[in-house]
Amino acid sequence: MTVPHLVAEATSKSGLIWVTVDGSRPAPLWHLWQDGAAYVLTGGTEQPAPGLADVEHADVTVRSKTTGGRLVTWRATVSPVRPGTDEWERLLPELRNHRLNAPDGRQAPERWARECALLRLDPTGELLDTPNGSGAAPPPPSPAVTSGPLPFVLGRRLDRDAHTG
């Protein structure tokens, strides 16, 4: 399965991804892009990603590193990386380098093995959204209304037509 170029390029350059599990609120997660997949470390005292370790698929939204705007949302297959495996050992140096301000410094990998889940997010090739809208949710319905004219503000230019007559 080849990873779409947009997914690989955007995810590898972005330090933060937003992961959605079963339509829940997206969780912002730092990640490591390696071998065509995003690796996230969750649980324990690391970043929370409720339910991510328990699902087979999740949606990943990638933002632009320069503008912060949404670039693409892609579907991922979620699989655990077990401590002690070759993959785990290969990723540890890179994870340690990407993890900023770890409270236990170089001992972090031992804590990760005890308390955390390292999850591999493999792109399925399915793009759910591309950059053709803001992605912002519409405002919730509200009974609030403007009750009258806006208050006077110093420095605001007065509209001539509104005051003639």
Q: How far apart are CA 142 and CA 74, in angstroms?
A: 33
CATH of the domain at 79: 2.30.110.10
Which long-range contacts (C-beta less than 8 Å, at least 24 apart) are formed by 65-68? 65/13, 65/14, 65/15
For all residues of the chain together, what is the average pLDDT? 85
pLDDT band at 68 (very low <50, low <70, confident <90, very high): confident
Asked if 78 and 35 count as a contact pair (C-beta separation under 8 A), the reply is no
Q: Is the pTM of this model over 0.85?
A: no
Domain membership of residue 109 (yes or no) is: yes
- Looking at residue 159, its pLDDT comes to 61
What is the number of other CB atoms lying within 10 angstroms of the CB of residue 6?
15
**Residue that wins the pLDDT comparison between 70 and 35:** 35
Residue 31 located in a structural domain: yes
Q: Which domain holds residue 83?
A: 5-131
For residues 119 and 40, the answer to whether their CB atoms sit within 8 Å is: yes
Say whether pLDDT at 85 is over 90.
Answer: yes
The mean pLDDT of 50-67, rounded to a whole number, is: 91
In a domain, 157, yes or no: no
Give how many domains the chain has, as a whole number.
Answer: 1
